[in-house]
């Protein structure tokens, strides 16, 4: 009992797990692999942006045509209304302004609105600030999302991996410049760095949103958190209220900042979530491995009373080779098996185990059998010799 427990700790301490291996800048030593991953990530980003532009064009074309037709019909009705009621243009403008202030009117789709709508669809945010009214637009949105969402997820997964490699390289260089002994970058250090980076992005976004939108700093921070976590309640939406009546050129920088906020924030969040999931999976896999080792050792330590001898129940059974034992050297496996086979309810080693007693008994029986066989052979040999001598004596006497 006392010899087996340390073996578990030794094996658990030496257990190599690939999931918990710290991320280093070693992959940067292979230029071919780095270049291959960079090209793949760049190609995914280009494909995603091209897909967004295609979706923006299609949504703009599908949803803008009904608006144009409805606008022409309303202009004809307005002209007929002014003619019937003998109203001047100024009087009609005042009446229309009053109606517009009391009624929620659906604004015209523009290209940047369509691009923003496509981004919200693929990012799984879904504010609900825009509604599709045509059947063609709804059907296209279904197939557009089915094809675009997997592409979006793969793109951000690949971009997050490259971001992890870049942060690992920067942190390793920083540690070397500070002359630190440990230059390897662990998953925990990367997770803390990306968490701080996410907070910085949220703070910068909250500051800019509070400047361009009629929100407070806390409301802007709340909007950024709801957006980057892809919850998307829709109670706060950018580019919705104060930018409808202005041309795109007047708030182009704000539009590009909103897009960069979504893309960069989701990339950092995806990479940090990836690291967190890897850490959780590595932790639970190590716990399961240790639990399996404990169960095997408990099964090997079970005792059985045979006659007057207390012995182990694993005698004659083949021990299962766990992944830990498979990765151990031959000497370590033999030492582990030797320690676990000498199991007894007594702390001393004066009494031999049942398996050793049985092996000694077999050797003794084998030795006795060999002795009897040797004695029989010598007796047979002596008898044959005496019989031959008698035959020779009888022949000589007869001659």
pLDDT tens digits along 263-304: 999 999 878 877 887 778 887 787 788 888 888 777 776 555
Please give the average per-residue pLDDT across 249-258, as a whole number. 84
* Boundary (domain end) residue, out of 106, 124, 146: 106
Please give the average per-residue pLDDT across 334-358, as a whole number. 53
Residue 243 lies in a domain: yes
Residue 213 lies in a domain: yes
Is 338's pLDDT higher than 60? no
202 & 71 share domain: no
Distance CA(302)–CA(312), nearest Å, equals: 6
Residue 57 lies in a domain: yes
Is 383's pLDDT higher than 70? no
* Boundary (domain end) residue, out of 258, 281, 302: 302
Write down the H helix ranges in the chain. 4-13, 31-85, 89-102, 111-122, 135-177, 187-212, 217-228, 252-300, 323-327, 330-341, 354-398
Band (1; pLDDT cuts 50, 70, 90)? very low
100 & 113 share domain: no
Dihedral class, residue 230 (left if φ above 0, else alpha if ψ from -120 to 50, else beta)? left
Band (380; pLDDT cuts 50, 70, 90)? low
Task: Fill in the DSSP letter of residue 27.
Answer: G
The pLDDT tens digits of the residues spanning 116-141 come to 899 999 998 988 877 888 888 899 99
293 & 238 share domain: yes
Residue 311 lies in a domain: no
Residue 382 lies in a domain: no
145 & 291 share domain: yes
181 & 255 share domain: yes
71 & 204 share domain: no
Please give the average per-residue pLDDT across 242-246, as a whole number. 56
Please give the average per-residue pLDDT across 107-121, as a whole number. 84
The model carries a pTM of 0.59
Higher pLDDT, 284 or 149: 149
For the ranges 32-36, 174-178, 317-321, the lowest mean pLDDT is seen at: 317-321
143 & 211 share domain: yes
pLDDT of residue 16: 42
Residue 178 lies in a domain: yes
277 & 144 share domain: yes
For the chain, give the mean pLDDT: 74
248 & 151 share domain: yes
Number of domains in the chain: 2
Is 103's pLDDT higher than 80? no
Please give the average per-residue pLDDT across 353-382, as a whole number. 73
pLDDT of residue 196: 92
- Percent of the chain exceeding pLDDT 90 equals 17
Residue 4 lies in a domain: no
Using the structure block, give the residue that is written with the tokens 């330590």. 301
Full residue range of the structural domain in which residue 44 is found? 31-106
258 & 169 share domain: yes
* Boundary (domain end) residue, out of 277, 302, 327: 302
192 & 95 share domain: no
Band (257; pLDDT cuts 50, 70, 90)? very high
pLDDT of residue 263: 93
Is 85's pLDDT higher than 70? yes
From residue 214, give the alpha-carbon distance in Å to each of 220, 285, 318: 9, 49, 74
Residue 347 lies in a domain: no
Q: What is the DSSP string of 167-224?
A: HHHHHHHHHHHTT-S--PPPHHHHHHHHHHHHHHHHHHHHHHHHHHSS--HHHHHHHH
Distance CA(351)–CA(387), nearest Å, equals: 53
pLDDT of residue 324: 47
164 & 254 share domain: yes
CATH of the domain at 166: 1.10.287.70
pLDDT of residue 329: 59
């Amino acid at each position: 009992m006392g010899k087996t427990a340390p073996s578990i700790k030794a094996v658990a301490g030496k257990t190599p797990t690939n999931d918990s291996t710290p991320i280093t800048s070693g992959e940067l030593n292979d230029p071919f692999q780095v270049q291959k991953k960079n090209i793949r990530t760049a190609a995914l980003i280009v494909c995603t942006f091209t897909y967004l532009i295609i979706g923006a064009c299609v949504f703009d074309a599908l949803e803008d045509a009904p608006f144009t037709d409805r606008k022409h019909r309303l202009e004809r009705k307005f002209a007929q209304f002014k003619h019937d009621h003998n109203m001047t243009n100024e009087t009609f403008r005042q009446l229309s302004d009053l109606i517009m202030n009391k009624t929620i009117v659906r604004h015209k789709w523009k290209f940047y609105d369509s691009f923003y709508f496509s981004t919200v669809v693929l990012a799984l945010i879904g504010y609900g600030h825009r509604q599709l009214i045509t059947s063609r637009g709804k059907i296209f949105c279904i197939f557009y999302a089915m094809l675009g969402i997997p592409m979006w997820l793969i793109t951000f997964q690949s971009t997050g991996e490259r971001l992890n490699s870049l942060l690992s390289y920067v942190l390793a260089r920083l540690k070397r410049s500070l002359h630190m002994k440990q230059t390897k970058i662990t998953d925990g250090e990367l997770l803390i760095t990306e968490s701080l980076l996410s907070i910085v992005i949220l703070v910068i976004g909250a500051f800019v949103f509070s400047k361009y939108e009629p929100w407070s700093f806390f409301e802007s921070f709340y909007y950024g958190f709801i957006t980057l976590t892809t919850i998307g309640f829709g109670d706060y939406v950018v580019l919705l209220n104060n930018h409808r009546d202005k041309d795109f050129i007047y708030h182009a920088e704000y539009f590009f900042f909103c897009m960069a906020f979504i893309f960069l924030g989701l990339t950092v969040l995806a990479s940090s979530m990836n690291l967190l999931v890897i850490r959780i999976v590595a932790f639970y896999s190590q716990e399961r491995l240790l639990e399996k080792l404990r169960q095997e050792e408990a099964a090997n330590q079970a005792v059985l009373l045979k006659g007057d001898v207390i012995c182990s129940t694993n005698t004659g059974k083949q021990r299962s080779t766990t992944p830990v034992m498979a990765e151990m050297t031959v000497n370590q496996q033999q030492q582990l098996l030797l320690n676990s086979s000498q199991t007894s309810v007594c702390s001393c080693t004066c009494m031999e185990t049942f398996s050793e007693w049985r092996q000694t008994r077999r050797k003794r029986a084998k030795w006795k059998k060999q002795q009897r066989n040797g004695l029989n052979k010598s007796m047979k040999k002596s008898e044959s010799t005496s019989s031959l001598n008698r035959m020779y004596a009888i022949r000589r006497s007869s001659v």
